[in-house]
Amino acid sequence: MDFFFIRDHREKYRFFSSEPEKDISIPVSRTKRAWELAQKKLTLLPPRILRQEQAFIRILKSEDEAISIRHSGLRPEKRIRLRFSLFLYKQRSKHVLILIGETILLPLSGLAALLPGPNVAFAALALLMITHWRALQGINRLAGRKHEFPVAPLFADWEEACGQAQKEKYSEILKKIETEYRLSQVDKVLWK
């Protein structure tokens, strides 16, 4: 699995991962299937944030000692390491604050159980809490591992086009990136 640390069109760093080539089909219980379906329907988060959260969660499944994170190569590796460690620190603080807020709101959404019908507010908040908690675990694990930063030349083209505001080249470069690294909907992460 490949991980990427690239600037988007707004010059903000994005961290995301490639999807696994094939999902391994393992017979699972009905509850597990319902949980997976609920996670797929989690549309409260924009695609940029959702892909980032999924990348942090995928770190938990990675057994490699050194994590390979591709970058554009336009900046020296020392600067990328510093930016990445600051990025992780910021994400850790953000996730802790979000979890504190969700913990405060959880009992209030539980009161909605008194109303007739399913408690959608509680279920959505619980799902967001679990997603943020697992992402925080992934951030902590990622911060404790060694990082390798190989260069990905197509992302250098992307960052150069963004730096020069050449919007006509965006879609062409993103299509090349999608085919080269087997990424889907990378335009929603880096552009729109």
Instruction: Give pLDDT tens digits for 111-129.
Output: 877 777 776 778 778 888 8
pTM: 0.79
Q: Measured between alpha carbons, how far is residue 101 from residues 48, 98, 104, 119, 124 in Å?
A: 21, 5, 5, 19, 14
- CB atoms inside a 10 Å sphere around CB 5: 21
Mind listing the pLDDT tens digit for each residue in 37-89? 666 666 556 778 888 888 898 888 888 788 899 999 899 999 999 999 999 99
Q: What is the mean pLDDT of the chain?
A: 83
Tell me what pLDDT residue 151 has. 92
Q: What does the angle CA 116 – CA 46 – CA 68 come to, to the nearest 5 degrees?
A: 125
From 124, 169, 178, select the one nearest 9 (Cα to Cα). Answer: 169
Kindly provide the residue ranges of all beta strands, DSSP E only, lying in the chain, ordered along the sequence: 3-7, 13-17, 66-70, 146-148
Q: pLDDT confidence of 24, banded at 50, 70, 90?
A: very low
Residue of 189 and 84 predicted with greater confidence? 84
For 90-101, write each residue's pLDDT tens digit: 999 999 999 999
- Judge whether residue 136 has pLDDT over 90: yes
pLDDT band at 34 (very low <50, low <70, confident <90, very high): low
What are residue 5's DSSP bridge partners?
A: 15
Quick one: pLDDT at residue 110?
Answer: 78
- The span from the CA of 108 to the CA of 121, in Å, is 10
Question: Alpha-carbon distance 144 to 31, whole Å?
Answer: 33
Query: Distance between CA 102 and CA 72 in Å, rounded?
Result: 36
Instruction: Give tens-digit pLDDT for 147-171.
Output: 999 998 889 998 988 888 888 888 8
Rg (CA), the chain: 18
Judged against a pLDDT cut of 70, whether residue 29 lies above it is answered with no
